[in-house]
A and B are shown apart, each in its own frame.
Chain A
Amino acid sequence: MLKSLHIDPAKCTGCLQCEMACSYEHHGVFNPSKSRIKVFNFEAEGKKVPYTCTQCAEAWCMNACPVDAIRLDAATGAKVVHEDICVGCKVCTIACPFGTINYEQDSGKVQKCDLCDDNPACAAACPTGAITYIDADWTGLDKMRQWAAKANTATPAT
């Protein structure tokens, strides 16, 4: 069963533990500037929103790559950048409608979320459950349950 990263911005406090976990997992340093997940702060609305790749089924980045460096990991559904093949042309960064694949100066390659080999470090580090890794077919389950709970099941008086 495939899983997806699922983000609930209402639970995000903006602590950036996810960004540090991501950079540590992939680069061995605590460094938000190398994180593949970013938390955006909309100050005037009091809103924090974590944002990363959703692993599109028909991935624009993958289709755009001229050297076939972005490939499907069938086990996780992640679209993974193979650094040994990537030439750093950045076409994928133009193709991606969401901006979630980005160039990285130090390596001269692009980087994107790879779901950490089925164990995303960001989700593990999130202290509030704003980022979870759940059944890809049922990311709406919690919301459905919340609405279901509001259903009035009392028998109408006759």
Chain B
Amino acid sequence: MGWARKILRVNLTQGTCTPEPLNMQWADEYLGSRGLASKYLISEIDPKVDPLSPDNKMIMSTGPLTGTMASTGGRYTIVTKGPLTGAIACSNSGGFFGAEMKFAGWDMIIFEGKSPKPVYLYVENDRAELRDASGLWGKSCWETEETIKKQHQDPQIRVSSIGRAGENQVLYACVVNDLHRAAGRSGVGAVMGSKNLKAVALRGTKGVGGIKDFKGFMAATTAAKKVLADNAVTGEGLPKYGTQVLMNVINEMGSLPTRNHKDVQFEDASKISAEAMHEKRASDGKSQLVTNAACFGCTIACGRISEIDKGHFTVVNKPEYWGASGGLEYEAAWALGAANGVGDIEALQYANLLCNEQGMDPISFGATVGAVMELYEMGVLTSEQIGVDAPFGSAEALARFTEMTALGEGFGVEIGQGSKRLCAKYGHPELSMTVKGQEFPAYDARGIQGMGLTYATSNRGACHLRSYTVASEVLGIPVKTDPLVTEGKPELVKAFQDATAIFDSAGICVFTSFAWTLADVQPQLQAACDGDWSMEKLNLVGERIWNMERQFNTAAGFTRKDDDLPPRLKTEPAQTGPAKGLVSGIDKMIPEYYQIRGWTPEGVVTEETVARLGL
């Protein structure tokens, strides 16, 4: 059956933990993880709620394939109303925490209210209890995980926690599990901090049984693993180079946003690329990359485990950062590097380590620093105000800003509010490279036109993981489309959005979609889950999930004008590379996209669409 059929409701105000049966009708309609948790959230909260108030809820959810032998079946999702955007927030993480939740016998955990004092949730199979976390408050994610394991004398516990950034309600704070995997975007960690919930510690020994057709499931997952192994991206590129395989490729395409999107190519891209991570350093003869690593159940293993240069100025007196740890992934390397013009890969790894340690989204953080550096170069911000000289390219400024933001010191408090609020405060809202208040990831919408529409319409604000049309426009997966044109992109974006909703809701990693289509996922779901999980059903459920999220955002107050890109991308043409002279054609794509979606010209889901999707 895939699902554990049981959810845990934790009322933090009252300090209670109550099991409930999973709503199986909703599971049949929304599958799991992202889709199912969103259904619960939307049914239980007022869309207008203040995201950081006790009336908001936060849900941690697995999918039916989480904790199984399906490749990458270890994902879990945090769904809440996000403080960075005010839209639905939905952040997905790998590592081992999600599978452990399933092994303990739970599909999801719903957190509501606010604890009067810091607590953490401890779950050991059926037993769940809130415990005092006053001794953990102020600790990093790394210290929290270590301390909890020591206190329980159990090294096999899996922990998700917030660091100082989440406690301080940095608006893009994340929730970190297994030291360097994160439910990273949209500030889910700030919501957790607002509830005085420091950590969730799990130990599950029940396992996942009750797969509907075990034999069929083993055959389907084995066949699907072979597809991953035989594919050039998932079988070769990602294990060897990680997501960083993209740095030089995207730079050559003229789509690597540089210096707060002033440029689309970075002259030092090769210095912060996958290839650079493999090269031996002059200082110590070692390469930054130590090895690749897998999340639970993953047969791709794109994760990077790296060792920083011990002699680098950022860590020379800080041995706590000398060991191997996570990083650099492409998004972090871009946001901390190209977005700020910083080409010092060791400084990027230092900033990345701090983001993991204190629980902070490196994309939104790095992109906000890019805006600060532009304001500094314009003379709007001075070094007296911000505590450091911060021209584009300053590794020293990046390192200091990371420390200040992660620990809530000085100007770091303002950086922690994200670029939308910061740029507005200093009179230049147009310099905030955001959609719905969330910072762009690492693809320029002028050079990859489909990504402009992806960003503008993403239900959680600017994001590449809701419809990764880069796969089609750059890599030719499943078919090659021209990245420089807008024609055909609305259909492409819709197709990617709906399919991705299924990958996310199944409990698997969206990176499998470099090799898998829904047709590879379908037999795995059909064998694992009760009910009909045909291709038709999956297509319908994917579209249903997308529209449900959209309806929430509409009810939260978002309108047509929020599905837009900053003026820079619409009026300042790319200056170099294949996209030279181009701006984003977003205004052309939006009306067509709404029409294909079955929405009104104002972007509202129509009654017919509601009826067709069974919303």
- Could you say which residues of chain A place their CB within 8 Å of the CB of B214? 24, 28
B54 within 8 A of A: no
Q: How far is the CB of B231 from the nearest CB of chain A, in Å?
A: 13
Docked-complex contact B292 and A15, CB < 8 angstroms: no
Within 8 A of B (CB), among A9-39: 13-17, 20-21, 23-24, 27-34
Contacts of B381 in A (CB 8 A): none
Complex Cα gap A27–B103 (Å): 14
Least distance between B299 CB and chain A CB atoms (Å): 4
**0 or 1 for each of B71-86: is its CB under 8 Å from A? (1 = yes):** 1000000000000000
**Cβ contact of A29, chosen from B179, B208, B323, cutoff 8 A:** B208
* Chain A residue, CB-CB nearest to B302: A13
- Collect the chain A residues with CB atoms within 8 Å of residue B114's CB: none
Task: Compute how far the CA of A23 lies from the CA of B211 in the bound complex, rounded to whole angstroms.
Answer: 14
Chain A residue contacts of B68, Cβ below 8 A: 20, 30
A138 to chain B, nearest CB (A): 26
Complex alpha-carbon distance, A153 and B68, angstroms: 50
B324 nearest in chain A by CB position:
A46
- CB of A24 within 8 A of CB of B69, answer yes
Cross-chain pairs A/B with CB under 8 angstroms, 8 sampled: A13-B292, A24-B218, A28-B209, A33-B205, A43-B325, A45-B323, A46-B291, A48-B293
Q: What is the minimal beta-carbon distance from B31 to any residue of chain A, in angstroms?
A: 19
Q: List 4 other contacts, CB 8 Å, given A20-B68, A34-B205.
A: A29-B209, A31-B207, A46-B293, A127-B229
- Given known A-B contacts A15-B295, A27-B207, A30-B67, A46 and B103 have beta carbons under 8 A apart: no
For A50-90 the 0/1 string (1 means CB < 8 A from B) is: 00000000000000000000000000000000000000000
Nearest-CB distance from A73 to chain B (Å)?
A: 25
Task: Let me know if B69 and A125 touch, CB within 8 A.
Answer: yes
Known: A31-B205, A45-B324. A13 touches B294 (CB 8 A): yes
CA distance A47 to B207 in the complex (A): 26
- CB within 8 Å for A43 and B207 given contacts A13-B292, A15-B297: no
Residue numbers of A with Cβ under 8 A of B are 13-17, 20-21, 23-24, 27-34, 43-48, 125, 127-128
Whether the Cβ atoms of B103 and A14 lie closer than 8 Å is: no
Which residues of A have CB within 8 Å of B540? Answer: none
| Complex interface: chain B residues within 8 A of A30 (CB) | 67-69, 207-209
In the complex, A33 Cα to B157 Cα: how many Å? 11
* Known interface pairs A29-B207, A43-B324, A127-B229; A20-B297 also in contact (CB < 8 Å): yes
* Interface of chain B: mostly helix, strand, loop or mixed: loop
A-contact bits for B286-311, CB 8 A (1 contact / 0 none): 00001111111111010101110000
Q: Name the B residues within 8 Å of A33 (CB-CB).
A: 103, 156, 204-205, 207
Query: Which residues of chain B are within 8 angstroms of A15 by Cβ–Cβ distance?
Result: 294-299, 301
Inter-chain contacts of A13 with B (CB < 8 A): 239, 292-294, 298, 301, 303
Interchain CA distance A49-B299 in the complex, whole Å:
16
User: B69 contacts which of A21, A45, A48 (Cβ < 8 Å)?
Assistant: A21
| Chain B nearest Cβ from A109, distance in angstroms | 16
- B60 → A minimal CB distance (Å): 20
The answer to whether B299 touches A16, judged by C-beta atoms less than 8 angstroms apart, is: no
CA gap between A46 and B297 in the complex, in Å = 18
* B152 lies within 8 A of chain A by Cβ: no
- With both beta carbons as reference points, the residue of chain B lying nearest to A48 in the complex is identified as B293
Residues of B within 8 A of A45 (CB): 290, 323-324
Using an 8 Å CB-CB cutoff, how does the interface string of B261-295 with A read, 1 for contact, 0 for none? Answer: 00000000000000000000000000000111111
* Nearest chain B residue, comparing its CB with the CB of A24: B69
Q: A14 CA to B205 CA in the complex, in Å? A: 19
Given the complex of chains A and B, what is the CA–CA distance between A110 and B305 in angstroms?
A: 36
Interface residues of B in 113-164 (CB under 8 A from A): 156
Chain B contributes a number of interface residues (CB within 8 A of A) equal to 37
CB distance from A33 to the nearest CB of B (A): 4
A14-B294, A43-B323, A43-B324 known; A32-B307 Cβ under 8 A: no
CA distance A14 to B229 in the complex (A): 16
| A17 touching B69 in the complex, CB below 8 Å, given contacts A44-B324, A45-B323, A45-B324 | yes
Per-residue interface assignment for chain B, residues 44 to 82, with 1 indicating a CB less than 8 Å from any chain A CB and 0 otherwise: 000000000000000000000001110100000000000
- Distance between B297 CB and nearest chain A CB, rounded to angstroms: 6
In the assembled complex, how far is the CB of residue B560 from the closest CB belonging to chain A, in whole angstroms? Answer: 44
CB neighbours of A48 from chain B (8 A): 293
Residue of B nearest to A106 (CB): B205
B428 is an interface residue with CB less than 8 A from chain A: no
Complex formed: what's the CA distance from A59 to B1 in Å? Answer: 41
Say yes or no for B225: interface residue by CB 8 A criterion. yes
**What's the Cα separation between A125 and B209 when bound, in Å?**
18
Q: Is A46 within 8 A of B290, CB to CB?
A: yes
In the complex formed, the residue of B with least CB distance to A28 is B209
B612 at the binding interface (Cβ < 8 Å): no
Q: Considering the chains assembled together, what is the distance between the CA atoms of A13 and B229 in angstroms?
A: 14
Residue with the greatest number of chain B CB neighbours at <10 A, chosen from A23, A43, A44: A43
By a CB distance below 8 angstroms, the chain B residues around A32 are 103, 207
**In the complex, what distance in Å separates the CA atom of A47 from the CA atom of B291?**
8
**For the complex, what is the distance from the CA of A43 to the CA of B356, rounded to whole Å?**
14
How many angstroms from the CA of A29 to the CA of B303 in the assembled complex? 27
For A29, A43, A127, the residue with the greatest tally of chain B CB atoms inside 10 Å of its CB is A127
Q: How far is the CB of B121 from chain A (nearest CB, A)?
A: 20
Q: Whose C-beta in chain A lies nearest to the C-beta of B298? A: A15
Which residue of chain A has the shortest Cβ distance to B69 in the bound complex?
A: A20
Which of chain B's residues has its CB closest to A33's CB? B205
B206 at the interface (CB under 8 A from A): yes
Residue of A with least CB distance to B218:
A24
> With A and B bound together, what is the CA distance between A17 and B68 in angstroms?
9
Give B293 Cβ to nearest chain A Cβ, in Å: 6
Q: Which residue of B lies closest to A10 (CB)?
A: B291
Residues of B within 8 Å of A28, CB to CB, are: 209, 214
Complex Cα gap A156–B229 (Å):
43
Please indicate the chain A residues that have their CB under 8 angstroms from the CB of B204 in the complex: 33
> Separation in Å of the A5 CB from the closest CB of chain B?
19
CB distance from B33 to the nearest CB of A (A): 17
The answer to whether B207 touches A127, judged by C-beta atoms less than 8 angstroms apart, is no
CB distance from B45 to the nearest CB of A (A): 33
Q: How far is the CB of A111 from chain B (nearest CB, A)?
A: 14
Residues facing A in B311-356 (CB within 8 A) are 323-325
B299 touches A127 (CB 8 A): yes
In the complex, chain A residues whose CB is within 8 Å of the CB of B305? 46
Kindly list the 7 A-B residue pairs having the minimum CB-CB distance in the complex, ordered from nearest.
Answer: A31-B207, A44-B323, A46-B324, A46-B290, A15-B294, A13-B301, A13-B294
Nearest Cβ in chain B — how far from A96, in angstroms?
Answer: 20
B 212-234 binary contact with A (CB < 8 Å = 1; else 0): 00100010000001000100000
| Cβ contacts under 8 Å, B205 to chain A | 31, 33-34
Q: Which A residue sits closest to B180, measured CB to CB? A: A43
Given A17-B299, A23-B207, A33-B156, are A43 and B225 also a contact pair (CB < 8 Å)? no
Least distance between B149 CB and chain A CB atoms (Å): 12
A116 CB → nearest B CB, Å:
14
Rounded to whole Å, the gap between the CB of A41 and the closest CB of chain B is: 9
Q: Which A residues are in CB contact (< 8 Å) with B298? A: 13, 15
